Structure 1
Amino acid sequence: MPPLPSSPRPKTRVRRDVALSVELSAVIMAATPDEPRVLTIRAESPQLDGLPSGPLQSQHRTLETGLRAWVAQQTELKLGYVEQLYTFGDRARAEAGMRDAGHSLSIAYLALLREARPTGLAHAAWRNWYNYLPWEDWREGRPKALDVIEPALKAWARAGGKPLKKFRDERIELTFGLQSGTWTDERVLERYELLFEAGLVPEALRNVQPPSKARLAPGQSMALDHRRMLSTAIGRLRAKIKYRPVIFELMSPTFTLLELQKTVEALSGVRLHKQNFRRLVEMQGLVEETGEVTAETGGRPARLVRFRREVLVERPAPGLRLPGARRTIS
Structure 2
Amino acid sequence: MSLRVGLSAVIVAAIDGLPHVLATRGGDEDGLEGLPFGAFDPEGHRTFEIGLRDWVSAQTGFELGYVEQLYTFGDLGRELPTARLDSGSPADRVISVGYIALTPEATEIGGAFDAVWRNWYRYFPWEDHHADSAQAIISPLSDQLKKWADSAGSPAASHDRWTRASIAFGLDDKPWIEERVLERYELLYEADIVPEAWRDRAETSPCSLPERVTGTPMRSDHRRILATGMSRLRGKIKYRPVVFELMQEMFTLSALQETVEGILGTKLHKQNFRRALDKTGFVEGTGEFETATGGRPAERFRFRREILSEQAALGVQTPKQR
Query: What one-letter code is carried by the residue in structure 2 that aligns with 1:53?
Result: F
For each residue in 1:120-150, what CA deviation from the matched residue of structure 2 results, as whole angstroms up to 9, or x when unmatched? 2011110000000000001124342213211
- Residue 146 to residue 287, structure 1, CA distance change in 2 (3 Å): same
Relative to structure 2, which stretch is displaced further, 205-214 or 241-250?
205-214
Q: Partner letter of residue 104 of structure 1?
A: V
Superposed counterparts of 1:248-287, under 5 Å: 248-287=244-283
Q: Higher mean Cα deviation, 144-153 or 203-212? A: 203-212
Question: Contact 2:9–2:98 (CA<8 Å) still a contact in 1?
Answer: yes
- 1:110 matched residue in structure 2: 100
What TM-score results when the alignment is normalised by the length of structure 2?
0.90
2:40 to 40, 43, 56: 56
Kindly name which structure, 1 or 2, has the bigger radius of gyration based on alpha carbons: 1
| Structural mapping, 1:183-194, within 5 Å | 183-194=176-187
Q: CA deviation at 1:181?
A: 4.4
The answer as to whether partners of 1:97 and 1:207 remain within 8 angstroms in 2 is no
The 1-side partners of 2:200 and 2:36 are apart by 24
Cα deviation for residue 242 of structure 1 reads 0.7
- 1:300 is matched with which residue: 273, 296, 301? 296
Residue 178 (structure 1) aligns with: 171
- Deviation larger for 57-66 or 237-246: 57-66
- Give how far 1:97 is off: 8.7
Runs of 4+ in structure 1 deviating by more than 4 angstroms, as ranges, are 95-98
Question: Is the CA contact 2:127–2:181 (under 8 Å) kept in the aligned structure 1?
Answer: yes
8 Å CA contact 2:166–2:174 kept in 1: the answer is no
> 2:3–2:94: 8 Å Cα contact kept in structure 1?
yes
Q: In the aligned structure 1, how far is the partner of 2:203 from the partner of 2:296?
A: 61
Q: Where do 1:162-241 residues align within 5 Å?
A: 162=154, 163-208=156-201, 210-216=203-209, 217-241=213-237
Deviations 1:168-209 (A, max 9, x none): 111101111111142000000000010111111111111435
Q: Secondary structure at the match of 2:233?
A: helix
Q: Give the counterpart letter for 1:159 in structure 2.
A: S
Stretches of structure 2 lacking an aligned partner (at least 5 in a row) = 84-89
Amino acid paired to 2:26: A
1:73 and 1:220 map into 2 onto residues whose CA distance is 28
Deviation of residue 96 (structure 1)? 9.1
Distance (Å, rounded) in 1 between the aligned partners of 2:286 and 2:11 = 29
In structure 1, the residue corresponding to 2:136 is in which secondary structure?
A: coil
Deviates more, 1:265-274 or 1:137-146: 137-146
Percent identical among aligned pairs is: 49
The aligned length equals 308
1:314 Cα shift? 3.4
Name structure 1 gaps, 5 residues minimum: 1-17
Change (3 A) 1:209 1:83: closer
Residue in structure 1 matching 2:78, options 71, 88, 93? 93
Contact 1:29 1:111 in 2 (8 A): yes
User: Which secondary structure state, in structure 2, belongs to the residue aligned with residue 319 of structure 1?
Assistant: coil
- CA offset at residue 214 of structure 1? 2.2
For residues 228 and 64 of structure 1, do their structure 2 counterparts lie closer, same or farther at Cα, with a shift above 3 Å needed? same
